[in-house]
A and B are shown apart, each in its own frame.
Chain A
Amino acid sequence: METETETHARELIAVRRLTKRYGTAVTALEAIDLSIDDGELIAIVGPSGCGKSTLLRILAGLMPPSEGEAWLHGSRIEGPRRDIGVVFQTPVLFPWRTVLANVLLPIDVQRLGRDKMQAAAMNLLKLVGLDGFENHLPNQLSGGMQQRAALVRALIHDPSVLLMDEPFGALDAMTREQMNLELQRIWMERRKTVVFVTHSVGEAVFLADRVVVMSPRPGRIIDTLEVDFPRPRPLSVMNTEAFGVHVSRIRQALNATGGLE
């Protein structure tokens, strides 16, 4: 058991009493309290429309909360930060840039010098199996390959936090499992703090150190669950009894509030 101060020293992201309203009618998030440690891989599951994307957008500094606050690295999030990488549900590649140029977009925007980063980009592309495709245009790649490129782009400027909004939701089941394995490998190698939003309870339990379960709108945190399977986790961990126990506990929490999954 860690003491209170130790926990606090490792805290990277803090969300306090955070509420987000769209207009007066829609309350997307209500009084969210969340603390995320440095290097943690945390998954957020919840029914559609419960405010998961909203939470990520606030963490990314893309919009302000209505009440409460979010902190990163000990300072309040008031706008986009350079040490955050975001992966969206769709790859969001620019069709006029080659795969390599797409991956280097953060370098161009933040003027970090392409020459120095070229090698790093090639390494990362290799890590996700995209070597040989660096000079292709995005529309020459499959959906899964495009999403890998998007993952590399989120990592290239070496951010400390990776925000992922249902990054593999549009992929077929097999590609998706492959991507989960790859994400775990990258995470183990680079030790980023990852906030991973997903619809899939299985995906959440497989990937995360901790799963946060949200209620339907207005989104609240209704359960938090530690997952301590040893890493690297093989896909077969999903067939174990312990895995099933975790999954059914999350399902119960979701069903109790009327969320369907």
Chain B
Amino acid sequence: MNPYLRLLLMVAILAVWEGAARLLHVPAYILPPPTAVAMGLYRGIASGLYVEHVWITMLETFLGFLLGASAGFALGTFVALSRRFEYYLYPVIIMFQAMPKVALAPLIIVWFGLDLTSKVVNAGLVCFFPLMVNTIVGLRSADEDRVSLMRSLAASPTQIFWMLRLPGALPSIFAGLEIAMIFALIGAIVAEFVGAQAGLGMLIQSMNFSMDVAGQFSVLFILSLIGLSLNAIVLAIRRKVVFWDRPAPENRLGGKP
């Protein structure tokens, strides 16, 4: 576990990439060397081109996240608390859950147009399920003894919800929020691919047509920076809200499509 070795590995990969691209004369429209990507990144930022698109995509992601996460939380709560609600809704939920939500993007564009709304809706749709599922699991996982304790104090179901079930579900809900945040970004980008006037997804599309592969790599780089910072924001909030529960240092690379 040597941090310098870690850094060295990254530098080595970039160096091999650079060397291979130059020595083997790989055409720039197939695989540009890292220096070309860095140049593309610099030009994009310096000209102000990327700033506008980054802003658009972040806004879509954030609004979609708010929409999908609140809806997922609300529906998850209903399902967790009411067996009847669950019984009637279950087939619909299962159908929806099995469907790859990004496949709905073309329809969403038709229904909601080419501008911001369709991206927000698509992002919301994609991040809705992880939050609903985690809310259900979290609310249902309340420890039997704790429920007995609350009941023995003559607590009402409402009190049991606010004082026990909801705080107890927060670790699970935050695990859902972490996934939902990244899913929202995916949803927004996919919707931009299908049809948009602005945004990083649209930028990738148009660079693809003009065979600006270095530009595409630079946008991908920006996208992973965005993904990392969104994840960091959720984790920071989690640390404040779920202060009693330190997440296990699980494999943070796995489980993120």
Hey, which bits of chain A sit against chain B, CB under 8 A?
Answer: 57, 60-62, 79-82, 84, 86, 88, 90, 92, 94-96, 105-106, 108-110, 137, 139, 157
Contact = CB atoms under 8 A, between A and B. Distances in A.
A80 B167 CA distance: 23
Contacts of B152: 60-62, 80, 84, 86
Contacts of A157: 153
B114 interface: no
Contacts of B9: none
A94 B165 CA distance: 11
A256 B146 CA distance: 37
Contact of A82 (B149, B153, B159): B153
B6 to A, nearest CB: 33
| Interface SS, B side | helix
Given A109-B163, A137-B244, A82 B145 contact: no
B134 to A, nearest CB: 18
Given A95-B244, A96-B167, A62 B148 contact: yes
29 contacts: A57-B148, A61-B152, A62-B148, A62-B151, A79-B154, A80-B151, A80-B152, A84-B152, A86-B148, A86-B152, A88-B145, A88-B148, A88-B149, A92-B145, A92-B149, A94-B146, A94-B164, A94-B168, A95-B244, A95-B245, A96-B167, A96-B242, A96-B243, A96-B244, A108-B163, A109-B150, A109-B153, A109-B154, A109-B159
B231 to A, nearest CB: 23
Contact of A139 (B159, B163, B242, B244): B244
Nearest to A82: B154
A96 B159 CA distance: 16
Nearest to B154: A80
A84 B145 CA distance: 16
Contacts of A57: 148
B155 interface: yes
Nearest to A83: B154
- Give 5 nearest A-B pairs by CB, closest first: A80-B154, A86-B152, A95-B244, A109-B153, A109-B155
Interface in B93-151: 143, 145-146, 148-151
Q: Size class of B's contact patch?
A: 20 to 34
Interface string B41-85: 000000000000000000000000000000000000000000000
A86 B167 contact: no
Contacts of A96: 167, 170, 242-244
Identify whether the interface residues of A are mostly helix, strand, loop, or mixed.
loop
Interface of B: 143, 145-146, 148-155, 159, 163-164, 167-168, 170, 242-245
B239 to A, nearest CB: 14
B154 A94 contact: no
A82 B159 CA distance: 15
Contact of A106 (B148, B153, B168): B153
Contacts of B146: 92, 94
A110 B244 contact: no
B147 to A, nearest CB: 10
B167 A94 contact: yes
Contacts of B143: 92
Nearest to B164: A94
A110 B154 contact: yes
A25 B115 CA distance: 65
Nearest to A61: B152
A80 B157 CA distance: 13
Given A95-B244, A109-B155, 11 more contacts: A60-B152, A79-B154, A80-B153, A81-B154, A82-B153, A88-B149, A90-B145, A92-B143, A105-B153, A109-B150, A157-B153
A82 B186 CA distance: 52
Contacts of A94: 146, 163-164, 167-168
Nearest to A98: B244
Contacts of B154: 79-82, 109-110
A88 B149 CA distance: 8
A249 B245 CA distance: 49
Contacts of B159: 109
Nearest to A95: B244
Nearest to A60: B152
B151 to A, nearest CB: 6
A57 B163 CA distance: 22
Nearest to A108: B163
Contacts of B167: 94, 96
Contacts of A92: 143, 145-146, 149
